[in-house]
Amino acid sequence: MVHRVLSTELAGHVGETVRLAGWVHRRRLLKSVAFLILRDRAGLAQVVVSRPADRVRLERLPEETVVEVTGRTVGNPAAPGGVEVVEAYWEPLSEPAAAAPFELYRPHLSATLPTLLDHAPVALRHPRRRAVFELSAAAVAGFRSSLDALGFTEVATPKIVASATESGANVFGVDYFGRRGFLAQSPQFYKQTMVGVFERVYEVGPVFRAEPHDTARHLAEYVSLDAELGFVADHHDVMAVLRDVVAGMLAALTDRAGAALELLELVPPEVPDRIPEVHFADAVRMVGAALGQDLSNEPDLAPEHERWLGEWARREYGSEFLFVTGYPMRKRPFYTHPQPDRPEYSNSFDLLFRGLELVTGGQRLHRHGDYLAALAARGESPEAYASYLETFAAGMPPHGGFAIGLERFLARLTGAANVREVTLFPRDLHRLAP
């Protein structure tokens, strides 16, 4: 049998008999000629149907039916890729496909988001939907290769855990052999523990938040890109790694998913060699003055403040990225390292992209005694953290890290209004299937 070629490889086979395989993406039944547009994993191919008997067969071949096509490749400047297949013979590999709830062959899917999500197995086949997840795979590959090059080791830590990581709220309970278990809200404790082993670690995996708010930004399960590194002077060493990782993720989009970028008409933003930075205290002062608000007692930035800062960074530095550092300790988790010279602030940061928070990170406490004090100050018992605390009792270097929400990164990049648009099978307050 003739070896299968992909749609994008056709141009290299002009004059040859080829075999294509894929889905009937579209039928175009014109007066004098008909076309079968075939979709495979690489793109689209045009198959010319001239004989009346074949046309009758084509009319009975619903879109999305899987077919294998054998024919001769010829050049045609009007066809996609400049080539088409003529004198074609085809055979279905599936039953005739059922009618889809929307027209997959249109350049844009016109259905509502709930309909697209309800029928995700079909909707994801649309080239524009598919392109988003090609970008996703490329971004994750860029995350890994950037960290591999910096001497990081990948780890896999458990997702069923004995206690809540971040706070007792928003945690899913699991019936664990008759005991109470929880789904990990982050790999935070484990990645710190693994700094004691490998110094530099990363993990790509699911995290779970029983988020009771029904918003365009929240998911009950998402992919967290986590990194943690030891032997840092402070959070600036962590920020330098994050800068290289984000640049590596964006470069990977071009390297590994150029066609998807083109289809979605996206150009990855430039990451400056040094991302500008503003301290939280200066940020609230500037934003307060500009917006005529008294923010002197605010422990965090509101979305409109982040937007203002995003515009300010573009204006002042020509940068779409901005680090805000030094968030007040009272809004950060107990393992956060304070800013040594202003202990009401922390050695933490957010990375804003186009005025929206993209990444959170910072330096962590590393001395056992500091952990005991931090837990005591919050009225928490050290017993609940015994394994975690063992890590610090056994000697830990100054360290820090960050977590990038993959879906949030994709939403920012593609301009998606709802994070569900960039999630294969989203989980939220209402949605547990498909």
- Binding to a second copy (CB under 8 A) within 3-22 occurs at 4, 21
Stretch that binds a second copy, among 240-248, 265-273, 331-339, 365-373 (CB under 8 A): 365-373
Q: Which of residues 11-70 bind a second copy (CB under 8 A)?
A: 21, 23-24, 40-41, 64-66
Shortest CB 426 distance to a second copy, Å: 8
Interface pick for a second copy out of 396, 404, 416, 422 (rule CB under 8 A): 396
Q: Which of residues 368-387 bind a second copy (CB under 8 A)?
A: 368-369, 387
Q: Which of residues 215-234 bind a second copy (CB under 8 A)?
A: 220-221, 223, 231
Interface pick for a second copy out of 210, 240, 263, 372 (rule CB under 8 A): 210
Interface pick for a second copy out of 153, 170, 293, 360 (rule CB under 8 A): 153
Q: Dig out the tokens for 274 from the structure.
A: 């040094």
Residue number with CB closer to a second copy (3 or 330): 3
Interface pick for a second copy out of 10, 161, 329, 403 (rule CB under 8 A): 161
Q: How far apart are CA 379 and CA 187, in angstroms?
A: 23
Shortest CB 342 distance to a second copy, Å: 22
Q: How many CB atoms lie within 10 A of CB 36?
A: 24
Interface pick for a second copy out of 156, 267, 290, 417 (rule CB under 8 A): 156
When asked if residue 356 is in the footprint of a second copy (CB under 8 A), the reply is: no
Q: How many chain residues bind a second copy (CB under 8 A)?
A: 91
When asked if residue 390 is in the footprint of a second copy (CB under 8 A), the reply is: yes
Interface pick for a second copy out of 75, 114, 382, 434 (rule CB under 8 A): 434
Q: How far apart are CA 228 and CA 347, in angstroms?
A: 15
When asked if residue 425 is in the footprint of a second copy (CB under 8 A), the reply is: yes
Q: Are strands 200-208 and 17-29 parallel, antiparallel or unpaired?
A: unpaired
Shortest CB 108 distance to a second copy, Å: 17
CB 126 within 8 A of CB 103: no
When asked if residue 148 is in the footprint of a second copy (CB under 8 A), the reply is: yes
Q: How many residues does the chain have?
A: 434
Q: Which residue has the tokens 């082993």?
A: 197
Taking CB under 8 A as the rule, which mask of x and - marks residues 94-113 in contact with a second copy? Answer: xx-xx-x-------------
Residue in 169, 170, 164 with CA at minimum distance from that of residue 189: 164
Q: How far apart are CA 3 and CA 1, in angstroms?
A: 6
Residue number with CB closer to a second copy (214 or 294): 214
Residue in 289, 268, 428 with CA at minimum distance from that of residue 354: 268
Residue number with CB closer to a second copy (200 or 412): 200
Residue number with CB closer to a second copy (310 or 398): 398
| Residue 35: partners with Cβ closer than 8 Å, 6 or more residues away | 26, 27, 28, 46, 47, 48, 49
Interface pick for a second copy out of 36, 37, 69, 140 (rule CB under 8 A): 140
Alpha helix (H) residue ranges in 187-234: 188-198
Q: How far apart are CA 345 and CA 339, in angstroms?
A: 5
Shortest CB 272 distance to a second copy, Å: 24
When asked if residue 168 is in the footprint of a second copy (CB under 8 A), the reply is: no
Interface pick for a second copy out of 70, 146, 165, 193 (rule CB under 8 A): 193
Q: How far apart are CA 414 and CA 265, in angstroms?
A: 9
Q: Dig out the tokens for 380 from the structure.
A: 């928490």
The DSSP code for 90 is: E
Shortest CB 4 distance to a second copy, Å: 7
Q: Which of residues 267-326 bind a second copy (CB under 8 A)?
A: none
Residue number with CB closer to a second copy (65 or 360): 65
What is the torsional sign of CA 336, 341, 345, 351? Answer: negative
Q: How far apart are CA 343 and CA 235, in angstroms?
A: 14
φ and ψ at residue 126, rounded to 5 degrees: -65, 135
Residue number with CB closer to a second copy (203 or 306): 203
Q: How far apart are CA 351 and CA 357, in angstroms?
A: 6
Q: How far apart are CA 312 and CA 50, in angstroms?
A: 61
